[in-house]
Structure 1
Amino acid sequence: MLNNRNLRQAIDEPTHIKTHTLDWLILREDDTSIYGIQVADKALSDHFVIKFTIAIDIPKVEKKTVTSRHIKQLDHEELSNDLKAKAIEHSPNDTSTSIVEKYNATLEKLLEKHAPLRARTITDRTSAPWINADVKLQKQQRRQAERAWRKEKTTVKIQIYQYHHKSVKKAINNAKRDYYRSKMISCSTSKALFRLTSTLSGKSKPTPLPDQITDDKLPDSFYAYFHDKVKKLRTELDSKGGKPSYEPFFGEPWNNSRLSILRL
């Protein structure tokens, strides 16, 4: 059947603990975009993991530069001594504002001395909105169990790792359920619920905005466009001149007395 459709099965070794090849990787006969196929027992289930490399373009990882201070590494005793030595001088003519400014400037200099501002480049990874503290804790415990199993591959270590792996899956399912349930409960109208379901199903599309106009000039540009459009329409209507013509009415005039026969 695969040959008739110009397809091939790329797995040629067991993928199950019973030495059966139950998991397949079906490719086109002339497909060369997938390579480096490996079958590995990760002790996650009775099936093995199939790993491979696929030659596709992936979105570039965004990087950003952030600045921070190592406040936790401050020597509190040394900082306290410097604060005592740096007496803030002020005259009777100083206002409360100027005294506060001198105080802040002194603190800023000492902070720069003991915990200088450092810039570093980090990878900007947006985490899933349903990630909570329990999921993070379960993942941390799973990583610890995995490292212990890889260091000492015993039956007990494998069982502990499998237990934490299942705990992570359970925590993720609970977090997703609670997150989406709270989102749906917060929808006060059917329109809001429809918008939420469209967003969750990937059907919502962002509103396109002009790229050639900066954000600070975009509101004025929209205002100018609609203002000129209304002004143009008014000018065209005024240029036609004259009064609107109406066809004469030949029907029977309205008589309010007819309503008196109605009874509720």
Structure 2
Amino acid sequence: MYPVLKVGSSSELDSQSILDQHELVQHVTVPTHKNSHTLDLIITTKEHSFLVDLEVIDKSIPDHFLLRADIDTLKPKKLQHTVQSRDIKRLDKAAFLSDAASSLSSSTISAECLVSTLRDTLDKHAPVVTRTISVRPVAPWYTLDIKEAKRKRRQTERRWRKSGLQVHRDILAHQRNIINSLIRSHKKAYFTKKLEEVKTTKELFQTTHHLMGHQTSSPLPPGEDKELCNQFLLTFNNKIDKIRTFIGSDTPLPDEHESSTGNTMTEFYYVTEEEITKYVKASSPKTYDLDPIPTSLLKEYTMELVPYITKIINESLTTGVVPDIFKRAIVTPLLKKPGLDETDLKNFRPVSNLNFL
């Protein structure tokens, strides 16, 4: 636990009794104002007095004096976490497609074969790498021109500290104003572009929530991961069993059905490669753990992969069977409404993320 350090004005300090009550120490004991008043303060705890040196300097220009202090404390370590990623940018497209095509056959292609081949080929050309990264604030509006302006500011600051001339200080101030102006303009452009892309009210709330830096996460009940997963599995299975029982053979059906006057569908029609290409291009680029390759990569290689995808879909329409690998999903429990009891599993609903195909 880090010791307390407070720097401020004595107007925030009611009395010495408050310091004694919380076991605090005010280290400034000499006047800090031109009228011989001690108006500024530096407070630490009595137990952790990590102040090494304190100096009060009269700069003659302001009413208050300058307080300079040396603090003996360690710099907090940067937060780090481990991530797994692939170097997709350096992926050799020709080699990837060549290896994938050599393992695929349009005559014997199946959903399981396509998924496993794409996953194995990607593991070969862009294997998963585990690395440790430092947690930094996200700034999507940060650009190279801002980075270059900051580099120039550091140069002008070093020149001013070395020379001490007023002209170099003015140059530093001018460069600082340039950076502030760049940051404001880039932030405005970024936020404006994001809001212009909004098409619905729901997207507007989601985008605004994200731009304000609010993190949305669904709370989960306390417990071990494996045990909690089994509890959710049992709860969701019981819910499905109740629904099946309710709509069973004992459920009364209407005596009469209105006859349809429209066209009747008696069979599925085969889809074409052009249709599949259109659907893939129009789909969301989201990727989940069950996808053999990133969705963005699949959309990029659509022309090469669409013949296999089309055959799998037409085979499913012909046999009336959806491949088992496309029925698997990653189920995430989400709280139905904010404020509900998190310990009651009935207040959660299952959200399934399927394979993109």
Task: Classify the TM-score, shorter chain.
Answer: 0.3 to 0.5
Q: Structure 2 length normalisation: TM-score?
A: 0.35
Q: Structure 1 length normalisation: TM-score?
A: 0.45
* Larger Cα-atom Rg: 1
